C-alpha cells in the first residue's frame, strides 16, 4: 500500500515491484480522488494531492511500465478516467474535470503512439458509479449526483476489462456515459 498523492510515490512503487522480480504486463491506473468547491476556497494541499494522484502517479506508472511492455511487444494499460473528461467545464470541480481531461487526452495520444507495438492503451470513462467518491470529494449534494443514474462498480469494471481485452481505445460504459461524451464533444466549449 502506498499513498500515491505523495511526490515520487509511483517511482517507489515501481522500484518495489521491480526488486521483487515482478513483470508487469497489465497496468490498471485506477487510483483517483476529487475535491469539491471553488478553487480559491479549496485547501491547496488537497488540490495538489488530487492532481498528483489523478495526473502525476498515472503518468509516472505508465511511463515506467512502457519500456518493459515494448521490449516484450505485449502489454495492456487501462487508465480510469471519467465522463467529465469530455465536458467543457466543471464549476466547483474545475481541478477534477481538468485532471480527467488530461487522462483522456494522454490516453488517446499514447494509444496512437503505440499502434503496432503490441501494447494497447484503453481509457475507461464511466459516468456516475456507485462508490464513496461523491461523499469523499464533497460533491454528494450536487444536482449531478442526485439526478443521473449510477452504474455498479462491478459493471463499470467489467466494461473496462472487456474493453481492454478487445484493445479498445475508449470505453464508455452505459448509455449515460455515451450520451454525455457525445453531448460534451458537440457544442462549442462555451455551451
Catalytic residue positions?
A: 96
Helix (H, G, I), strand (E, B) or coil at 87: coil
Q: All 3 cell numbers of residue 80? A: 480510469
Residue 27: CB atoms within 10 A of its CB come to 20
Q: Would you mind telling me the total number of residues written for the chain in this entry?
A: 191
> How many Cβ atoms are within 10 Å of 13's Cβ, its own excluded?
17
Amino acid at each position: 500500500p502506498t499513498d500515491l498523492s505523495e511526490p515520487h510515490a509511483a517511482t517507489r512503487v515501481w522500484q518495489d515491484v521491480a526488486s521483487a522480480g515482478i513483470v508487469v504486463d497489465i497496468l490498471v491506473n485506477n487510483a483517483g480522488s476529487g475535491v469539491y468547491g471553488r478553487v480559491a476556497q479549496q485547501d491547496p494541499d488537497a488540490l495538489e494531492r488530487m492532481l498528483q494522484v489523478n495526473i502525476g502517479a498515472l503518468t509516472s506508472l505508465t511511463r515506467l511500465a512502457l519500456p518493459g511492455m515494448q521490449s516484450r511487444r505485449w502489454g495492456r494499460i487501462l487508465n480510469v478516467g471519467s465522463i467529465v473528461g469530455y465536458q467543457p467545464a466543471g464549476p466547483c470541480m474545475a481541478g477534477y474535470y481538468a485532471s480527467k481531461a488530461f487522462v483522456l487526452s494522454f490516453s488517446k495520444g499514447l494509444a496512437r503512439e503505440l499502434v503496432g507495438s503490441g501494447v494497447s492503451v484503453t481509457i475507461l470513462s464511466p459516468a456516475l458509479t456507485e462508490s464513496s467518491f461523491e461523499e469523499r470529494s464533497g460533491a454528494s449534494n450536487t444536482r449531478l449526483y442526485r439526478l443521473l443514474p449510477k452504474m455498479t462498480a462491478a459493471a463499470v469494471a467489467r466494461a473496462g476489462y472487456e474493453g481492454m481485452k478487445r484493445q479498445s481505445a475508449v470505453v464508455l460504459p452505459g448509455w449515460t456515459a455515451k450520451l454525455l461524451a457525445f453531448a460534451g464533444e458537440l457544442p462549442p466549449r462555451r455551451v
